[in-house]
Amino acid sequence: MKEILFKDLGINQDYQKIWDYQETLLAEAVEIKSRNRAKEKSGQNDFEQTKNHLLFVEHPHVYTLGKSGHIENLLASQDFLSQIEASFVKTNRGGDITYHGPGQLVGYPILDLDNFKPDIHLYMRNLEEVIIKTVKDYGLKGERSKGETGVWFDVGKPFARKICAMGVKASRWVTMHGFALNVNSDLKYFEYIIPCGIQDKAVTSLERELGREIPIEEVKEKVIAYFAEVFEAKISE
């Protein structure tokens, strides 16, 4: 069975610091794949196995803009960001602008999809499936919205809203970045952006939907279990 190494990086972790860590893990996997390719060409068969990782983290207030995003979707000035103790980072993932902050579970899978299935579309649908299964445990029906990556409630209705944003990057089929599930997030921070560049849909959290604070450790356990199920892997620390 495939193995995924899990690490909880904790709370209040600087976005750039964790981004750099992801880049290190991705580079290690890409380097192994390059060596394996060279061995294959020379007729060797002592191939090395790449490692798969799943990182959990909570960031301080930060807005991140994907490589195809539009800065116009950030509605706040730099001075205002300072007032609300939020930072802004241009990143290299797909997607537009999003928010990370306390009470939000951010997951960064660094997976070599050659160990699974080398299909980015399938990978994104699998990430969505993990979250759909997780919110179902709370009596909530998570859905996909055509052309809009992530997990939503009440798709196609006037009160459609997003519970989980997603954006990834892949190099040589090795992924980085990932998903952000709003558990007990302060949703007012989403008012200062056009989330994911989508103007006509709202953002929500488990806390808002259920009317109570949700133990984030409980949510983490569910996400880990469903990640193992969906990706048919053993997750170990």
Task: Give the C-alpha separation, 99 to 197, whole Å.
Answer: 12
Q: What is the mean pLDDT of residues 51-68?
A: 95
The 10 Å CB-count burial string (b at 16+, else e) for 91-123 is bebbbbbbbbbbbbbbbbbbbbbebbeeeeeeb
Tens of pLDDT, residue by residue over 190-234, are 999 876 655 667 899 999 999 999 999 999 999 999 999 999 999
Q: Percentage of residues in the chain with pLDDT exceeding 90?
A: 81
The two three-digit tokens of residue 173, written as one number? 């089929």
Indicate which residues carry an active-site annotation. 196
Alpha-carbon gap, residue 46 to 36, rounded angstroms? 8
Higher-confidence residue: 158 or 28?
28
pLDDT tens string 168-183: 999 999 999 999 999 9
Instruction: Enumerate residues 6+ apart whose C-beta is below 8 A from 198.
Output: 148, 162
Q: Return the minimum-mean-pLDDT range out of 10-14, 72-76, 151-155.
A: 72-76
Q: What is the mean pLDDT of the chain?
A: 94
Unique residue bearing structure tokens 């972790």: 13
CA distances, 127 to each of 39, 42, 205, 229 (Å)? 33, 37, 18, 11
Q: How far apart are CA 203 and CA 159, in angstroms?
A: 10
Q: Which residues of 161-172 are buried (b: 16+ CB within 10 A; e: fewer)?
A: bbbbbbbbbbeb
Contacts of residues 76-82 at CB distance under 8 Å and 24 or more positions apart, as own/partner, are: 76/192, 76/193, 80/192, 81/192
Structure pTM? 0.95
List the single range of 28-37, 61-70, 154-163, 190-199 with lowest mean pLDDT.
190-199
At 39 the pLDDT is 84
Question: How much is the pLDDT for 200?
Answer: 63
pLDDT digit string, tens, across residues 90-121: 999 988 899 999 999 999 999 999 999 999 99
DSSP 51: P
Give the total number of structural domains in the chain: 1
**Predicted confidence (pLDDT) per residue in 129-144, tens digit:** 999 999 999 999 999 9
What CATH number has the domain bearing residue 22? Answer: 3.30.930.10
Q: What span, in angstroms and rounded, lies between the C-alpha atoms of 134 and 131?
A: 5
Place of tokens 């060409």: 41
Length of the chain measured in residues: 237
More confident call, 192 vs 60: 60
Q: What is the pLDDT of residue 96?
A: 86
134 is in which domain, residue-wise? 2-236
